[in-house]
């Protein structure tokens, strides 16, 4: 079975994680400033909750498509991703 996120050895590349997070926040910044006109912490947090829920559910279904579905891990990951995205989007707003 092919891994979706193969590792080289036992280490993850922190530089790739950093760049991934940078582009993830950049896309939200562009959406908020150019398309949605979100400019306050409250409106950013509310938008982040919606985006976090939708993003995390979709990504979890993709990840669990090749492995066994663990409902507890699924719900936990959705909650963690939603809260972190809401905080990030509030700061961006």
The SS3 call for residue 11 is strand
Provide the pLDDT for residue 44.
Answer: 85
Provide the pLDDT for residue 13.
Answer: 72
What global pTM score does this model have?
0.67
Contact yes or no for 74/64 (Cβ under 8 A): yes
Least confident of 41-45, 51-55, 63-67: 63-67
Contact yes or no for 60/77 (Cβ under 8 A): yes
Provide the pLDDT for residue 36.
Answer: 78
DSSP single-letter state for residue 17:
H
Average pLDDT over residues 68-79: 84
């Amino acid at each position: 079975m092919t891994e979706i996120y193969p590792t080289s050895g036992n280490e993850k590349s922190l530089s790739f994680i950093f760049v991934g997070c940078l582009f993830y926040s950049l896309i939200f910044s562009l959406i908020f400033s150019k398309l949605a006109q979100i400019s306050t912490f409250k409106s950013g947090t509310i938008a982040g909750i919606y985006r976090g829920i939708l993003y995390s559910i979709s990504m979890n279904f993709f990840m669990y498509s090749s492995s066994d579905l663990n409902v507890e891990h699924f719900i936990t990951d959705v909650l963690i991703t939603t809260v972190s995205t809401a905080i990030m989007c509030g700061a961006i707003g």
